[in-house]
Amino acid sequence: MNDKLTVAAGADWELPSLAGGAADGRFYSVVNPATQDVFARVPDCGEEEAQRLLEACVSAFDSWKQTTAFQRSQLLRKWFERIVRGADEVASAISQEMGKPIKEALGEVMYAAGFAEWYAEEAKRVYGETFSSQHEHKRLYASRQPVGPVFAVTPWNFPAAMITRKVAPALAAGCTVIVKPAEQSPITAILLEQYWREVGGPEGTFQVITSNQAATVSAVYFKDRRVRKLTFTGSTEVGVLLYRQSAETMKRVSLELGGHAPFIVFADADIPRAVDDIMACKFRNAGQTCVCTNRIYVHRSISSQLLEALAARVQELRVGDPADDATQIGPLVDEQGLRKVSEHVADALSRGASVVVGGQALGGLYYQPTVLRDVAPGMRILEEETFGPVAPVIEFDTLDEVVAAANDTPYGLAAYLWTRDLDTAHRVSERLDYGIVGINDGAPSTAQAPFGGVKMSGIGREGGVWGIQEYLDTKFVSVGLAPR
């Protein structure tokens, strides 16, 4: 085994909250996309297991919501410290189950730990309000209370961070949580639950259910009125379906869905720095992130310079074994992802685009880091989220033209722009219909800031004070005192 991979391949894993695993003994295989070998097997849970976890979650909520903010804060702080101590182990799991380069995976673990650290403090900053009545004998106030049991569905591309970004604020607020991780990346979730239990997290407060039967398992939670909240990160198509299902029992929802991020480079940009930000924004995780730039708009006057600089940097990217510290680009997660990237490039080339660098599959689930030029409206790559290491470059002439093009999408998660002009920075950021805007910053996400989109990119926010508010209800109390 590579010495970077502290989690051994080939094991059968158990769920911390389900002794004995699935009732019928079923497992499903988790495949390492770099080797396409089986990395691990996990219980393939069904309706019975989902119900068992639900009962434990509901039961635990009754006591967990009564703990003090200071008690919850102390446990979250211990969880943060345990995640940091286990960073190599979690990074090893991430790298093997979804193909992220090991150094990048380690960075994700520290980012994930940051949410546990932040919400350990945010738990103590949930405040109520008092306000005046028009009647002398009345006293009015509003308090904040936990929503209730939460069902969280998380994606494979950030298997640690997307869990802590949901679970930490939910626990801080006094909610209990069941997490259904993506089928491709369950081991990270299991480790995070183990760590929570190791530091004293009470039974039933945070549980993981693994399953290849997503619809069967999810149905248990959607139909039960005791589950009061859905939080989901994933595709817009699935998010819309879950939104409809949540409406049947009027659950609170947080949905972080697909993106189609533009990156606008204005004529006054510092080209080397702009290219640095494009590289960080586009090629992280082989382009498999919802906030990756999917469209690079460059002012015509500097397009040749930027293309030359970008192509040189992309050619230097090292594609290889995710366990190797030198690897910068790993495999795509599965055949479906590889097929979509290949189709987007083929469609663009058939409609007049040309390859500057890359443009070919490399065997297995690997795809060359690619830059395309002469990209134009009507190509699939400008209409759909690619989720791969392909950077399409489009020229523009005027500010109004590029803002209109950037907004011409049903999605609205993240957008980026590069300029040295303060007026342009502010005015363009205000006109972009996106929940997140990075100005001269290709990696704006952080635990203390709001993360989320508009339009078809979702509902609600994660991170910062906004994240914990998603797990709190407001209760108004009016007290009538005896007349004086």
Which residues are marked as active site?
A: 256, 290
* Contact assessment for residue 160 and residue 108, using Cβ atoms and an 8 Å cutoff: yes
Give every CB contact of residue 257 below 8 A, 6+ residues apart in sequence: 233, 234, 235, 236, 239, 290, 411, 413, 453, 456, 457, 458
Closest CA to 462 of 108, 170, 98: 170
Q: In this structure, what is the dihedral angle of CA atoms 457, 460, 465, 470, given to the nearest 10 degrees?
A: -150
Query: Smallest Cα–Cα separation from 191: which of 204, 208, 177, 214?
Result: 208
Q: For residue 342, which phi and psi values (nearest 5 degrees)?
A: -60, -40
- Please choose, from the candidates 246, 76, 79, the residue with its C-alpha nearest in 3D space to the C-alpha of residue 175: 76
Q: Is the dihedral of CA 300, 305, 311, 314 positive or negative?
A: negative
Q: Name 136's Cβ contacts closer than 8 Å, sequence gap at least 6.
A: 484
**Cα torsion 385, 386, 388, 394: sign:** negative
Q: How far is CA 432 from CA 409, 437, 452, in A?
A: 11, 8, 14
Q: Are 167 and 149 in contact (CB under 8 A)?
A: no
Q: Is 473 helix (H, G, I), strand (E, B) or coil?
A: strand
Give the number of C-alpha atoms closer than 13 A to the C-alpha of residue 75, restricted to the C-beta side.
Answer: 25
The two counts, helices (H) then strands (E), for the chain are 14, 21
Q: Quick one: which of 460, 279, 314, 456 has its CA closest to 385?
A: 456
Q: Which helix (H) or strand (E) holds 165?
A: helix 161-173
- Do the Cβ atoms of 201 and 67 come closer than 8 Å? no
How far, in Å, are 145, 246, 431 from residue 49 at the CA level?
29, 21, 48
CB 51 within 8 A of CB 226: no
